[in-house]
DNA sequence: AACGACTACAACCGCTCTGCC
DNA sequence: GGGCAGAGCGGTTGTAGTCGT
């Protein structure tokens, strides 16, 4: 919320290697907080918001760059089905990937794939009413705990609907994904333990 | 080779939430 | 309780690179 941005002109557009270097240096010394101060200290004519975004999406260590693997793609699909457009939450389950990256990947790859799939599946959609009714009965509403970094570990609850059969269809699951599922469950269990 | 269409992704924008005074 | 600033999120835009004609 750069309310002073009207008064001061910030530069926009692509970051230069020099800007990246300055930003990284200041963050290494002062840490990744008070972005406005960081921008000023680094002598950058960028707004704090821009610095934060650059750091989180590009300069931060442990960022995994390059193609999204099949496993990761599958994970994104599942998580999106579960959480919707909660990119930061989805990114939280994919180490090294950023919300922006996942969002972009979704918009450019997966949304198209899904549309294609929907088109294909529309044709043979001649299910009986009974089958549809049964499927409806199998949809459940679950409460998803959100571990948000912004609220200091506090968690809120969101009620979401998902299709049990599809989400828990691990028939062609690789070991990597199964590992994630157990870790997901473990981390949730850990939170519950902490509470009690 | 030239040009337009398409794609991928970095960056921006607007909004909400949270914490502090 | 209200105002302000910082932080974070999701949607959208801009543009460089690639591809097809």
CA distance A94 to A100: 12
Q: Write down the pLDDT at residue A59.
A: 87
CA of A139 to C1' of B11 (A): 39
CA of A135 to C1' of B9 (A): 38
Chain A residues 56-95 with Cβ under 7 Å of strand B are 57-58
State which residues form the domain around A55: 15-59
What's the token pair of residue A149?
Answer: 């970094």
**CATH number of the domain bearing residue A75:** 1.10.10.60
Q: Which residue has the tokens 């599809």?
A: A166
Domain count, chain A: 2
Virtual torsion, Cα A73, A143, A86, A193, nearest 10 deg: -80
A101 touches strand B (CB under 7 A): yes
Per-residue pLDDT of chain A in tens (196 residues, 90 and over written 9): 333 333 457 888 889 989 999 999 998 888 888 888 898 888 888 888 899 999 988 888 878 877 888 888 888 888 888 888 888 888 888 888 888 899 888 888 887 777 667 666 655 544 444 444 444 333 434 444 443 333 333 334 444 444 444 444 444 444 444 455 445 434 544 443 444 4
Contacts of A36 (CB under 8 A, 6+ apart): A2, A47, A48
Which residue has its C-alpha nearest to nucleotide B19's C1'? Answer: A151
> Do A32 and A79 share a domain, yes or no?
no
């Amino acid at each position: 919320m750069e309310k002073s941005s009207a008064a001061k002109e910030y530069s926009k557009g692509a970051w230069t290697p020099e800007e990246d270097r300055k930003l990284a240096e200041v963050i290494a010394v002062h840490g990744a907080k008070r972005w406005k101060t960081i921008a000023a200290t680094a002598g950058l004519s960028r707004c704090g918001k821009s610095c934060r975004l650059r750091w989180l999406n590009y300069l931060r260590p442990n960022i995994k760059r390059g193609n999204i693997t099949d496993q990761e793609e599958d994970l994104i699909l599942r998580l999106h089905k579960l959480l919707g457009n909660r990119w930061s939450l989805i990114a939280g389950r994919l180490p090294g990937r950023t919300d922006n990256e996942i969002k972009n990947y979704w918009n450019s790859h997966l949304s198209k794939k899904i549309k294609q799939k929907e088109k294909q599946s529309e044709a043979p959609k001649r299910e009986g009413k009974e089958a549809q009714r049964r499927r409806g009965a199998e949809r459940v509403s679950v409460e998803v705990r959100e571990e948000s970094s912004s609220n200091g570990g506090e968690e809120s609850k969101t009620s979401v609907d998902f299709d049990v059969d599809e989400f828990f269809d691990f028939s062609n699951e690789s070991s990597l994904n199964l590992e994630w599922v157990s870790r997901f469950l473990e981390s949730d269990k850990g939170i519950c333990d902490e509470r009690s």
